[in-house]
Every structure is written in C-alpha cells, then in structure tokens.
Structure 1
C-alpha cells in the first residue's frame, strides 16, 4: 500500500481516496516523485473500502474505491487478484506474432506506394479552377434531388389513387340495390 499521484494504491488497478482535506496535497507531493508506504487493513470480502493509517501515531481512516477503479467494486480479494493475473496474461499474449508483423509490413508498403503515386501525380489546380462552376453543379444536384422527390411523390399519389379506385370498385360490387332485391314469398 502506497501513496501515489492517483491516490492510495493497493494493487495495479486499485486506487482509494479519503475525505481528509490534506489528501489532495499528499497526491501532489507523490506526483513530484516522493511515494511512501502506508499501513492498511483490508476487508477480504469487499474491495469497496479499506482502512489506512495515513500518519504515524494516528488511527485508521476509511478510504473508498475511486471512480477509475469502480469496476472492481464489491469484489472478493481473490476475484481481484484473479482479474489482475488474467490481465497480465492477456498482455503477454498480445505480443506481436508473424501475422500482425505481416499486416504491418503490408500497410507500410501500401502507404509507401500511395506516397510514390502522389509524388508522380500532376499538381493540383488552383483554388479558382477547382471552384469554378461549383454553384451550377450544386444547383444541378439540388434540381435532380427535387425532381426525384417530386416523381416519387407522384408515384406514391398514383398508387394511392389506384388503391382508392380498387376499393371503390369492390365496394360497388358488394352493393345491392333495394329495388332489385328479391322478395321472399311468405
């Protein structure tokens, strides 16, 4: 257990803080390179808090887990140690292999090829030449969009009118005139 610039450090990823007013000053002192060890009491069942003796000849102060370490909150001490060991193993496994080296070399070759082509390409025209006719091109694009949206509206309207016509024809077929109704002879 030691005081660091991030707070009271228990393991690699567990940092605690307390409500003492001089706590921020201690973090500043530790930031300048002066770390110091502290005596602590740990609850094996809950990693959310610890008790730390902040100064000699003083009682223990309750310190809570900081927000940056909140993923380990409430875990048993064995679970925290298991998680840290797992992270160390994953870091070892993440070392580059032949596949990642080949991918890196391919990427470098592609970048080098693109840079060579960029050198051989004709120089870009001036800003005046690139922007000439821009308003007309924009107007054409807007007009095309307007025409396509209006033609879509017309098609939708035609579909709606076709549906209404079909519905009215079906309804007319089902209508029976009262004058042509057969009378039942009782």
Structure 2
C-alpha cells in the first residue's frame, strides 16, 4: 500500500502492529519453553496474554474504521523474532546467559512496539478518533510497563553473571576521549 494520506499511513502502521502482535503470539511460547527461570517463564506467559489483548484492541480499531487488519507483514518484528530465535536455539549458551539474552531480545521488541504505538496513537488523535487514541494509549502504557518490568528482570538476571548494576550508566561512561 502506498501512503498518500495520513489515514493511509495510519492504517498501514496499524496493520504493521497487528502483524507484529500476531508474530509475537506465535513466538512467545517458544521463549517460555527456553526460559530456565520460573519467574521469567511466568513473566513471558503473562506478556503473551497481554499481547493477545493488544491484538484484540487493534481488531476493534479496524472494525471501527472499516479496514482489514491483514495487509502488511511486519518485517521489523520478523527480524527481532529471528534474533531471539537464534538465542533460543543456541545449545552452547549457559542457562543464565540465555535468560539474560532473551530478556534483552524482549526489550528490543518492547522498544519497537513503544515507537509504533506512540505513532499510531498520535495519528488517531490527529484524525479525530478519540476512542482509538484511548485504546492505543492504553496499549502504549502497557508496553512501557512491560519495558520497566524487563529492566528489573534484566538486572536480576545479570547479577549472577557478575555484573555490577548498582548504578545506571551515564552518557559519559560511553565516551572515550583520545589521549595524546
């Protein structure tokens, strides 16, 4: 589809998110199986249920605007899931390292979704669809909450690996000035 108007762009981006959510619905059970920690397994199972709710909200929006949710395959999510699958399939990786890597992969997914839902919420607002904007805002907030949960899980998963995560890194930690 070629976006020639804001509404076209809105529909295209909604279809992209719908595809992303449905790809996740298929991929998350594999992450549940691969997780070594009960806490991580439970967290992924809970996120799977939220993901199903997000897809249902998108279907409700598509019904409201009279558009088909299936029109686009989300290549971004496809790539993120492929990267996560490589972690899951790595039999040489230690369990704790694999859990930490899966959490990192899940965070990448959350950031992708946060960006997408932020955009479509804005488009819905600009198009005057307050009900859709409210539904999209609800999902956006849930994605942000999931990201915060993943941050704390990553800290917990990284501790046994010897990481000192007692402080947040600053931008200066990443700078390297040449010395002469």
TM-score range, shorter chain: under 0.3
Return the TM-score normalized by structure 2: 0.19
Which one scores higher on RCO, CA 8 angstroms, separation ≥ 6?
A: 2
- The structure richer in strand per residue is 1
Return the TM-score normalized by structure 1: 0.19
- The structure richer in helix per residue is 2
Q: Which has the larger radius of gyration?
A: 1
